[in-house]
Homo-oligomer: A and B are copies of this chain.
Amino acid sequence: MSVYKIRFGTPEAFVPSRFAPAPRVPVAEGMPDCLAGISFSAGARGVKITLSLAEDVSLYGFGLQLKSFRQNGKKKTIRPNADPKSDSGDSHAPVPFLVTTAGFGLYVDTARYCDFYCNLTAKPAVKPKDAAERMDMNDMIGGNAGNLLVVEIPYASGVDLYCITGERILDIVSQYNLLSGGGCMPPLWGLGNFYRCDMTFRDEQILGLAKQFRELHIPCDIIGLEPGWQTHAYSCSYRWDPQRFPNPAETVAELKKDGFHVNLWEHAFTHPTAEKYEELLPCAGEHLVWQGLVPDLSLEEAQKIFTEMQQPLIDMGIDGFKLDECDGSDFTGGWTFPNSDTFPSGMDGEQYHSLFGLLYAKTMEKALGNTRTLSQVRNMGALAASYPFVLYSDLYGHREFLTGLVNAGFAGLLWSPEVRHAENAEDLLRRIQSVIFSPQALVNAFYLPNHPWVQHDCVEGARELFRLRMSLLPYLYTAFYDYKTTGKPPVRALVCDYQNEKEAHDCSTQWLFGDSLIVAPLIYPEKERDVWLPPGEWYDFFTGERMEGGTHHVVTDGIPVYVKGGTLLPFAQPVEYLLPDTRFEITLRAYGDCKAAVCRLVEDDGETHSASYRLLEVTTERYETDSFRYRVAGVEQY
């Protein structure tokens, strides 16, 4: 396991590594053996990298790809976009990082819309002798299928290429995450359930909706407000609408009192009625978006001014934001700033598009001071693992949302398959089943005046699922602690851990949730599916049934979840929301032979960056702890 940095020519001034936290992994200069045969060139168009891959290598990555999993045979352009409608690479969060099953990954340190051709065949020197005569009518369509990888980085005259080696993709990805300081650590409450309200709601309606959560005993930790809270949105004023929210501080306080954290929607395009518009003017790009300034958040001055506008919100207790529209759209009305724009820092529009979400998230995290958050953002890029911002999309496809979930883990990104839309109760529950096994259990009901489970008459089903999320919180919190300390993504594709199994290579509809659970959801109107389990012993999470590795056919209204044999899983009594002094009542669920098994539990204040962490290691033999956070009540054997 090593990280190599290979410099070609003179890299550009504005690249992701310039804005990333310090690496927490050693970086060697020089060329690893696995890249023997790589070539670089630079010309009028930019930098070109060419590398021949072995025939049977599988490729993954490129950030939040919603349309495909294994990237062999694809051309992908790393271009941020709000409406990624085709499998072209366009994404809310494209990343110029790919991982292979050949023991290495490649990160190209660029903020350019670079092209990856994963499918080329070079022209031969002479006519091949073995060309077949007859065509196969079934084979006519389909793409190039060569094994030559070509990367083009426009405009650049040099680039740093990082080659990360490791036995498993998991090792490669973990080191990639450590290269930018390791994964983020959310607050404990950030992992609870999160609900975004109808965007037309005023204060009383929000308080009423919150109250209903408690009455229905559906766990909820975070209430999100959509654009309607501001005096002007599209672009933003960052000021409370006095008609809908005459006393916002009181409203926020009242929600806090009832155990709710409040998250506010906004974007960075700054309306003339915003407090600091005038100061921000010289720190903004050439053109307006929705009549708003585009602040250059790579400048300290712009960060400072922008933060000042957020300060009143933070001061009244807001501890999360939804940073919308920072991806830019070419398709839906063309709201975006041009790639050709010049920003005050010297970046051009293309570079700023690639870095906008990340710099925005960085600014907002800094603005929150010592308060940890698990917020939302709609654009991210390379080297972003340390930012506690979860990606989301205005697209609604359940299948694509799950493809995003497995892919995000290859690239230091967090993604939530938000529940936004459901045709009926069954569809709603299927979507909730998926989202509770994701980094952020988020329901976005921005166009629904009622709780969706009330509307669809499935309160009990929904409650049960959200309670399950709360029961798994200690387990998930440990997974995030590992993300922070080792770079290991809490949610990831099976091929990360099991690349020697061929079945894992195209396994895009299941994922690992932490180290020990495999989740294999169904998508409405499916009633049954095949589930593939890696070799070894597995246990049905709900029935405790012991199963062997291999493919199993499953028929269920629930969500298939499997626990790895030898796991000591901490299962908590569900609370309805987290408080700083919440203590979890834990049952240790022992699956199979757990004599040597250890259950790891992380204890800290759960809220601040300055928290000190303590890792408890509990076994079936020794599970009395003096932790203020956890009380282990007993062991259940499966």
Give chain A's interface residues, CB within 8 Å of chain B.
44-46, 48, 73-75, 77, 83, 85-89, 115, 117-124, 126-128, 131-135, 137, 139-144, 146, 148, 150, 152, 154-155, 199-200, 227-228, 230-234, 237, 241, 271-273, 277-278, 281, 284-291, 293, 329-336, 338-340, 348, 350
Contacts and interface: CB of A to CB of B under 8 A. Distances in A.
Most buried by B among A131, A234, A331, A340: A340
Given A74-B334, A83-B86, A233-B135, A340 B115 contact: yes
A232 B127 contact: no
A134 B141 CA distance: 53
B123 A230 contact: no
Contacts of A329: 143
Contacts of A154: 154
- Main SS class of interface, A: loop
Contact of A333 (B143, B146, B291): B143
Contacts of A272: 127-128, 131
Contacts of A87: 331
A123 B77 CA distance: 30
A141 B287 contact: no
Nearest to A151: B340
Given A45-B155, A155-B45, A338-B115, A273 B131 contact: yes
Contacts of A273: 131-133
Contacts of A285: 123
B121 A287 contact: yes
Most buried by B among A144, A284, A348: A144
B338 A150 contact: yes
Contact of A122 (B75, B117, B287): B287
Contacts of A350: 45
A333 B141 contact: yes
Contacts of A289: 144
A287 B334 CA distance: 34
Given A45-B155, A230-B135, A330-B77, A338 B144 contact: no
B121 A291 contact: yes
A638 B124 CA distance: 68
A287 to B, nearest CB: 5
A231 B152 CA distance: 35
Given A45-B348, A140-B227, A148-B287, A293 B333 contact: no
B152 A340 contact: yes
A149 to B, nearest CB: 11
